[in-house]
Amino acid sequence: MKIECIKEKLSKAVGKAEKITGKNLTLPILSCLLLKTEGQNIVLRSTNLDLGVELSFGAKVEGEGEVAIPASILNNYLSSSPNTQTITLETKEGGLALSSKEGSTFIKSHAPEEFPLIPVVPKDSTFIIKASDLVQGLRAVWYSSSVSSIKPELASVYIYQSNGAVFFVATDSFRLAEKQIINKGKADFTPILIPYKNITEIIRVLEDAEGDVEVAVTKNQISFSFPGTYLTSRVIEGVFPDYRQIIPKEFTTEATLLKQDLLNTLRLVNIFADKFNQVSFKVSPSKKELELSSRNSEVGESVEKLGGSFTGEDLEIHFNYKYVIDCFQSITSDSVTLRFTGAHKPLLIGGAGDNSFTYLVMPMNR
């Protein structure tokens, strides 16, 4: 194999693919990237057996072939080597030679025939969605997934379609996030569970995509395809809880506040929170104010008040600061609405006037 390509393109592709390599000591080939030629393209493949990616871009192919080399070595070399416009890759006995005007290096290779196949997901069940919408949906909820693998269905992001919309949902039993994306393309697929631990890499690969992504779904695998990229992930067999039944429909108290003011105040009060990150919410529609407070016997205490729009009954309730603040990254409007359902009952948080995102958080007991 002999290829000349743009170094920047190669470095960017290697950086993405290297994140999806494996650390399996019994299968050292998983720590490698497979580089091969296909026509006038260079193709990079990596997999950890849970996720797999294939990236390709145009290059000047002077000789066909393939080689498997340690991903971290290649990535570190490309990241640290001098800036150059083009770089030449050529297989030599036992490895890959890289050369440019500035210098040359040689990386030992592994047997490319040992590199595992990346699953090809049949296109029996597919849907088309804008890449930006897909990333937005995943990013809006994934942090609410359980980090424990005891219940795999909770350590996942649940995706399903209904009435022309694609829903993204995640919960760890203490909080739940749901994001609804209106999808103008055809969407007719069986609900799927994508492992939580795969979501960050899926987002990383998809966030640079422009236009549409074709998503194919089977019982065991999901794939994402767009020009130059093919990404697959294992999916989890299981049944996601019927979460709609726990989302309250009626509220005793509502408060609408400026998002940034509430965020700043929560951060301020949290300085004095206890080891359980407890922050007290005292909502007073009668006084048109929200009082946030915290107390730590070793540090001190803090009480802060915020104005806004309020309706309903006065209420005092307590939440884990971290669980509340996590959802602010998913709210794009300037104001947030807090909908309380009574003492010791869940709180709903969402953007004011935006019904596409729902976040439910359970209270703490004092």
Please say if the pLDDT value at position 96 is more than 80: yes
Secondary-structure breakdown of the chain: helix, strand, coil percentages, each rounded to the nearest 5: 20, 45, 35
Closest CA to 252 of 325, 161, 342, 152: 342
Report the predicted TM-score, pTM, of the whole model to 2 decimal places.
Answer: 0.91
CB-count burial class (<10 Å; 0-12, 13-18, 19+) for 53: buried
pLDDT band at 189 (very low <50, low <70, confident <90, very high): confident
pLDDT, one tens digit per residue, over 39-61 is 999 999 999 999 999 999 999 99
pLDDT band at 124 (very low <50, low <70, confident <90, very high): confident
Q: According to the model, what pLDDT value does residue 155 have?
A: 96
- What is the SS3 assignment for 190? coil
Please say if the pLDDT value at position 187 is more than 80: no
pLDDT, one tens digit per residue, over 237-273 is 999 999 999 999 999 999 999 999 999 999 999 999 9
- Dihedral sign, Cα of residue 85, residue 206, residue 61, residue 71: positive
pLDDT, one tens digit per residue, over 340-366 is 999 999 999 999 999 999 999 999 976
